[in-house]
Amino acid sequence: MNTLIYPIGTKVYKKSGKPFLSTYKVNTIKGIIDHPYKIKDGVPVKAYTFEEDSSIVECSICYKYE
């Protein structure tokens, strides 16, 4: 499992290859938040927000775009 938290400004893609809400396959991280709907072992899961759209995606399924 990918547990890295990339810094704001990093371009990332989803492991699944599915597009973000923006319809792009690569988005730019705008912020890091506690996921509003996902909790693991009593702790909120970290998630990214993006510059291109309003999607919220778990950090663990995003990978740095090189």
Express as a percent the part of the chain with pLDDT over 70: 95
Q: Who contacts 40 (Cβ-Cβ below 8 Å, separation ≥6)?
A: none
Please give the model's pTM, rounded to 2 decimal places: 0.90
Of residues 18, 60, 54, the one with CA closest to residue 40: 60
* C-alpha span between 41 and 63 (Å, rounded): 23
> How would residue 21 be classed by pLDDT, with cut points 50, 70 and 90?
very high
Number of domains in the chain: 1
| Domain encompassing residue 51 | 11-64
Question: Where would I find the beta strands (DSSP E) of the chain?
Answer: 11-14, 27-40, 43-50, 56-58, 62-64
With respect to residue 19, please indicate whether it lies within any of the assigned structural domains: yes
With respect to residue 5, please indicate whether it lies within any of the assigned structural domains: no
In this predicted structure, the answer to whether residue 2 has a pLDDT above a threshold of 60 is: no
With respect to residue 23, please indicate whether it lies within any of the assigned structural domains: yes
With respect to residue 2, please indicate whether it lies within any of the assigned structural domains: no
